[in-house]
Structure 1
Amino acid sequence: MRKKVLGAAACLALISVTPLAAQPEAKASKAKPAIDYTVMHAQVILDSLGFSPGIVDGREGQSLTAALKGFQSARGLTTSGKLDKATLSALHPYRARRPVVRVALDAAMLRGPYVNPMPDKPEDQAMLASLGYARPLEKLAEMFHTTPELLVELNPGGGSIASGAAFLFPNVVPEAREYASDLKPEWRQTLADLNVNGTQPAGERIVVDKSEKVLKVFDKDDKLVAQFSASMGSQHDPLPLGTWKINVVDTNPKFHFNPDLFWDSKPGDEKTLLPAGPNGPVGVVWLDLSKEHYGIHGTPEPQNIGRTQSHGCIRLTNWDAARLALMVKAGTEALFQE
């Protein structure tokens, strides 16, 4: 039934695979199940509709379950969190978005700066011009909302990552890249680098739900219009329950590292200002909250969203944080609940 509705298997049988350069840290794990292209098809559709499954990898998991529940809730369906018959029918109108897309790389997609290796100490990181990606493969993975390992699985056999080379990627290519002219040029470039759609719903309020591990966006009619998997709080820094407001939307932010605010800081760490970059502690966006020292932000480790704890703040993947930044503004209400 799923293959008939979403058509993933039939699609892939017609697509030739071009090898991708294998990287030491990007070897596919033998312990993982094979890519389920029906699942991947659902993931890319949900991603395009604003119900982010987190990492697009063609595998079921808690982030996909949460995304399905969000989509089902918004469509008035039973919130099973599964690709049941009713959900497949609701996804059917969007089936033209195939699970994978073949893309030829260009110079802009491969442009750095790259930082490899990344220094461990904050004071050494502060000396860098940028906290950029380690290498092109990592940048391409974030661009297509996945992991380096998944890209290698989609493109087995090796090959060089170079301008003009074409590879298969999860089909998260946005419908539109027309970003508002009043946005900073470097922020428009970041949005393009993360394949963020230029058209996003306007959020009137957001809800961070600890039990569901998600951030929900509601419009002025109190309709759920977007949902993102999130990491939030820890035993040392619990999620600050209550109603707050977004003070500032800071894009491509620098980060003021203060060891006094981190329970796991190391002896000798000193206050310092870290440069901006997708691999910085807060990724590409910092949404400052009315609760002092707390914010909603991106992350250098998208694969860990929803699976690890935070220092009390709310972490999203860089691409989801960037989308959220286009939906909200200063003054937007943020409810944090159990």
Structure 2
Amino acid sequence: MPQQQGHRLAVLCLAALLGVATQADARPAPEATGDVVSDLNASPPLQRGAHSAAVLRAQILIDRAHFPSGEIDAVYGSNMARAVAAWQKSRGLRASGSIDAKSWAELIRDNTPPLLTYRVSDADAAGPYQTIPEDMMEKAALPALGYRSAEEALAERFHIKPELLRRLNPDRDFARAGEEIIVPNVARGPLPAAAKVVVDRSDLSVSLVDAQGRTAARFPATIGSRHDPLPLGKWKIKGVARDPPFHYNPGLFWDAEAGHSKAKIAPGPNNPVGVVWIDLSKPHYGIHGTPEPGTIGKTQSHGCIRLANWDAAALAEAVKPGTPALLRR
């Protein structure tokens, strides 16, 4: 089968499974047009362990609603269950963590096509891209910590696991300008100003509470460890640094390698704190991004609160110096 024909068939099959039209640059794609299909009998219930196009659609829609489940991977895992429960609670629905017909009907009120056809730009193709070493001292020798590849950059832009991006785009070249690829439509509306930020260890989340006391957004997080527990209590946000350098001090890391010394790690999305640092009034603690979004909610941190880079950037737009931050169990 010719490459272009095979890609077109994959797009058509996926669009049929999702019951949606794809679109390119804000216009319907010529190979797949049509209205959103709201077949409730075909989609719910969705629950832990499910792996399907319906889960992919649900992950995209809940991400657009500011209650993301982390990297979009079409798998209904623990992050998805917690995100759905929080979203259900915010909508006055039973917070089961599973999507039944009532929750599905509420979710698909957003009838925007979940998938887009994106054209790889010259800038996407050009990079620059680089190899990122594992060793912290080797990282310190680099002038910047950018993306490793166009695939990684595009996956982060569209909040999707790189492996799933490849599955959606068989035989596509992410580093070729003009290439058309299928991506999640994760454009979000603006968030209200945060009246309070709540970091919840039991739920592995960071939530934005608005002036009316409503949870306007909730992001999955990696929060502390037994070696570096979350500093519970009431703190304040001191400020926001975008594209920050990371000041590495091995004395603050229980697992630092012998022979490491203090070092300044250059900015970039693969910097240890990602693209944003939201400084807390507790010294050495903050809410920040990460170069490894697939680990969010599934591993431990050195006491700080990690979000996916795209979620950290969204939160940073809604907070300001003095915003209260409640860190709780």
Q: TM-score range by the shorter chain?
A: 0.7 to 0.9
Count of residue pairs the alignment pairs up? 293
Q: Distance in 2 between matches of 1:34 and 1:233?
A: 29
Moved more, 155-164 or 62-71: 155-164
State the match for 1:300 in structure 2. 291
Q: Check the 8 A contact 2:66/2:217 in 1, yes or no.
A: yes
Once the 2 structures are TM-superposed, how far is the Cα of residue 8 of structure 1 from its aligned partner? 5.1
Q: 2:270 aligns with which of 256, 274, 279?
A: 279
Instruction: Letter of the 1:221 partner, please give it.
Output: Q
State the match for 1:225 in structure 2. 216
Q: 1:63 aligns with which of 79, 90, 112?
A: 79
Q: Check the 8 A contact 1:247/1:288 in 2, yes or no.
A: yes
Once the 2 structures are TM-superposed, how far is the Cα of residue 298 of structure 1 from its aligned partner? 0.3
Q: 1:11 aligns with which of 20, 35, 48?
A: 20
State the match for 2:38 in structure 1. none
Once the 2 structures are TM-superposed, how far is the Cα of residue 40 of structure 1 from its aligned partner? 1.3
Q: Check the 8 A contact 2:61/2:108 in 1, yes or no.
A: no
2:134 aligned with 1:125: no
Q: Distance in 1 between matches of 2:258 and 2:30?
A: 54
Query: In structure 2, do the counterparts of structure 1 residues 92 and 34 end up closer, same or farther at CA, with 3 Å as the change threshold?
Result: closer
SS at 2:156's partner residue? helix
Instruction: Letter of the 1:267 partner, please give it.
Output: A
State the match for 1:28 in structure 2. none
Q: Check the 8 A contact 2:244/2:277 in 1, yes or no.
A: yes
State the match for 1:262 in structure 2. 253
Structure 1: stretches of 5+ with no match in the other structure: 1-5, 18-32, 175-196
Once the 2 structures are TM-superposed, how far is the Cα of residue 160 of structure 1 from its aligned partner? 5.7
2:149 aligned with 1:135: yes
Once the 2 structures are TM-superposed, how far is the Cα of residue 11 of structure 1 from its aligned partner? 2.6
Q: Check the 8 A contact 1:37/1:99 in 2, yes or no.
A: no
2:198 aligned with 1:207: yes
Instruction: Letter of the 1:132 partner, please give it.
Output: G
Q: Distance in 2 between matches of 1:15 and 1:314?
A: 43
State the match for 2:57 in structure 1. 41
Instruction: Letter of the 2:283 partner, please give it.
Output: E
Query: In structure 2, do the counterparts of structure 1 residues 115 and 278 end up closer, same or farther at CA, with 3 Å as the change threshold?
Result: same
Once the 2 structures are TM-superposed, how far is the Cα of residue 34 of structure 1 from its aligned partner? 9.0
Once the 2 structures are TM-superposed, how far is the Cα of residue 57 of structure 1 from its aligned partner? 1.5
Q: 2:123 aligns with which of 108, 120, 141?
A: 108
Q: Distance in 2 between matches of 1:139 and 1:133?
A: 6
Query: In structure 2, do the counterparts of structure 1 residues 90 and 114 end up closer, same or farther at CA, with 3 Å as the change threshold?
Result: same
Q: Check the 8 A contact 1:8/1:41 in 2, yes or no.
A: no
2:92 aligned with 1:83: no
- The percent identity for this pair of structures is 43
Instruction: Letter of the 1:274 partner, please give it.
Output: I
Query: In structure 2, do the counterparts of structure 1 residues 322 and 70 end up closer, same or farther at CA, with 3 Å as the change threshold?
Result: same
Once the 2 structures are TM-superposed, how far is the Cα of residue 296 of structure 1 from its aligned partner? 0.4
Q: 1:147 aligns with which of 125, 141, 161?
A: 161
Output the aligned Cα RMSD: 2.1
Q: Check the 8 A contact 2:278/2:287 in 1, yes or no.
A: yes
2:280 aligned with 1:289: yes
Given the two structures, how large is their TM-score scaled by the length of structure 1? Answer: 0.82
Q: 1:311 aligns with which of 286, 293, 302?
A: 302
SS at 1:228's partner residue? strand
Q: Distance in 2 between matches of 1:160 and 1:319?
A: 20
Once the 2 structures are TM-superposed, how far is the Cα of residue 37 of structure 1 from its aligned partner? 1.6
State the match for 1:98 in structure 2. 113
Given the two structures, how large is their TM-score scaled by the length of structure 2? Answer: 0.84
Once the 2 structures are TM-superposed, how far is the Cα of residue 161 of structure 1 from its aligned partner? 2.9
Q: Distance in 2 between matches of 1:213 and 1:136?
A: 30
Query: In structure 2, do the counterparts of structure 1 residues 160 and 265 end up closer, same or farther at CA, with 3 Å as the change threshold?
Result: closer
SS at 1:206's partner residue? strand
Instruction: Letter of the 1:253 partner, please give it.
Output: P
Q: Check the 8 A contact 2:151/2:174 in 1, yes or no.
A: no
State the match for 1:180 in structure 2. none
Q: Check the 8 A contact 1:101/1:168 in 2, yes or no.
A: yes
Query: In structure 2, do the counterparts of structure 1 residues 58 and 99 end up closer, same or farther at CA, with 3 Å as the change threshold?
Result: farther
Instruction: Letter of the 2:170 partner, please give it.
Output: P
